[in-house]
Amino acid sequence: MDRVLHLRAIVPPDRTDAVCTALAACAGATNIVVFPDAARVPRGDLVTGDIAREAANEVLAELRRLGIERDGSIAVENIDLSLSDAAELAEERAPGHGDDAVVWAELDRQVGEGTALTWSFVAFLALATQLAGIAALIDSPVLVVGAMVLGPEFGAVAAICYGLTRWQPRRIAAALRALAVGFAVAIVITYVCALVSKWIGVIELDRLPDERPLTAFIYSPDRWSFIVALLAGAAGVLSLTAGKSSALVGVFISVTTVPAAGNLAVALALRHGSEISGSLLQLGVNLAGMVIAGTATLLVQRWVWHVVLRRKGTAVGGQP
C-alpha cells in the first residue's frame, strides 16, 4: 500500500458537487471527505480523498478541467502507510500498476527544479568537480565515485528529456544553460585551484601521469562509455517517474560527466593536451547518451500507458 496518494483540494462551493461526482466516478479514488467552508485563503470547501497512483492523471485532469487550480488549490502527497480495504480495492480497480504509472504533473514539477541555475547547483557541481580533479591527480577511484554521487547534473538532463518529449524549447534552453554555466564555472574554479596548488607546491607534477590504471576511463571514451550512458539515462528517468529515488544513486555512479570535467580542469592547468580532448569527448558522450535514452524512455512510458488505459476502457487524462 505504498502507491496510494492523498489528495487535498480547496474547491469553490459552486463546484464541490462536481468535484465529488468526478472523484466518485474514478475507479481509483476513495475515502472522499468534504469539509464545507473550511478553507479561508482562498475561501472554499476542503475536499480530501485517497487515489491510486495509476489514477492520479485522470483525477488531476478532471480537477483542472473544472478550474480548481485557478480558483482554489490542488495538493497531492504520498502516503507512507494506508490501512484501508477501500484503498486496496481502489488500487485493484485502477488500470495498470502504480510502479508503472507516471504522474505527469509531479514529473513536471520535479524536472522544473532541474532547470534552475541556483547557487547550490553551481556549488555542488564545483565541489564535485574539484573532488574529481584530485582523483585524477592521485589516481583514486574512490574519489571518482564520490564526485559522481555529489554531482547534481542529472536534474538538468532529466529536464531536457522531458522538454523534448513535450517540445518545450524554453525548458530545454534553461536546462542547457544550467548545464553549460554550471560546468563552466566548476571547471574554471577547479582550474584556478589546480594552478594555485601547483604554484605553492601542493601539486608537484608538471603534467598528469601517462599511466593511470584506476581512473583512465574518465578521459578515454569508447563504445562502452556511450552504452553505459544510455543505460544510466533510462534508469535515471525510470527512478524519477516511479518515485524510486534510491535508484538514482546507481545512475550517479555509472556515468563520468563530473569526473571528466574535473580531469579536464586539471589537464588544462598542467597543459596535458591529449587528456583535454579525451575529457571533453567523455563529457559530451555521457550527456548525449543520457539525453537520448531518457527521452526515449519517457516516450515509451507514455505510449505504454496509453495502451494500458485503452485496454481498460479508461480515458487518457493528464497525459502530455
Query: Which of 87-96, 106-115, 153-162, 302-311 has the highest mean predicted lDDT (pLDDT)?
Result: 153-162
Pair (148, 94) in one structural domain: no
Residues 296 and 157 in one domain: yes
**End residue of a domain, out of 56, 75, 101:** 101
d(CA 303, CA 312): 15
In the predicted structure, residue 315 carries a pLDDT above the cut 60: no
Instruction: Check residues 281 and 205 and name the one with the higher pLDDT.
Output: 281
Confidence at 1, pLDDT banded by 50, 70, 90 = very low
CB of 168 closer than 8 Å to CB of 108:
no
Rounded to 5 degrees, what are φ and ψ at 47? -115, 125
Q: How many domains does the chain have?
A: 2
Query: One-letter amino acid identity for 73?
Result: S
Residue 45, number of CB atoms within 10 A of its CB: 22
Residues 62-75, mean pLDDT to the nearest whole number: 93
One domain, residues 42 and 171: no
Same domain, 187 and 273: yes
Rounded to the nearest 10 degrees, the angle between the axes of helix 223-241 and helix 273-312 is 40
Q: Decide if 138 is inside a domain.
A: yes
Q: Please check whether residues 121 and 258 belong to one and the same domain.
A: yes
Same-domain status, 84 and 208: no
Place 65 in a pLDDT band, splitting at 50, 70 and 90. Answer: very high
Query: Does residue 64 share a domain with residue 114?
Result: no
Listed in order, strand segments (DSSP E) in 167-283 are none
Mean of pLDDT over the chain: 86
The reply to whether 127 and 246 lie within a common domain is yes
The model's pLDDT over 115-151, given as tens digits with 9 standing for 90+, comes to 888 999 999 999 999 999 999 888 898 999 899 888 8
Determine the pLDDT at residue 20.
94
In angstroms, what CA-CA distances link 128 with 123, 176, 230, 237? 9, 19, 22, 22
Mean pLDDT of 270-280: 85
Choose the most confident range, by mean pLDDT, from 135-144, 236-245, 249-258, 310-319: 135-144
Is 194 a domain residue? yes
Share of the chain above pLDDT 70, in %: 89
Highest mean predicted confidence (pLDDT) among 175-189, 254-268, 293-307: 175-189
Is 70 exceeded by the pLDDT of residue 96?
A: no
Question: Does residue 60 share a domain with residue 190?
Answer: no
Residues 190 and 132 in one domain: yes
**Grid cell digits, residue 145:** 565515485
Both 151 and 93 in a single domain?
no
Lowest mean pLDDT among 39-43, 214-218, 270-274: 270-274
Asked, for residue 312, whether it belongs to a domain, the answer is no
Asked if 5 contacts 51 with a C-beta cutoff of 8 angstroms, the reply is: yes
> At which of 85, 101, 117 does a domain end?
101
Whether 204 is in a domain gets the answer yes
Q: Quick check: is 317 in a domain?
A: no
CATH of the domain at 45: 3.30.70.260
Average pLDDT on 203-209 reads: 72
Looking at the fold, whether 271 and 179 belong to one and the same domain comes out as yes
Among the candidates 101, 118, 138, a domain finishes at 101
Residue (of 193, 183, 197) closest to 258 by Cα position = 183
Q: Give the model's confidence band at 260: pLDDT under 50 very low, under 70 low, under 90 confident, else very high.
A: very high
**What does the DSSP 8-state code read for residue 10?**
E
Q: How confident is the model at residue 2 (pLDDT cuts 50, 70, 90)?
A: low
* CA–CA gap between residue 111 and residue 155 (Å, rounded): 6
* Full domain range(s) for residue 11: 4-101
Structure-block grid coordinates of residue 234:
533510462
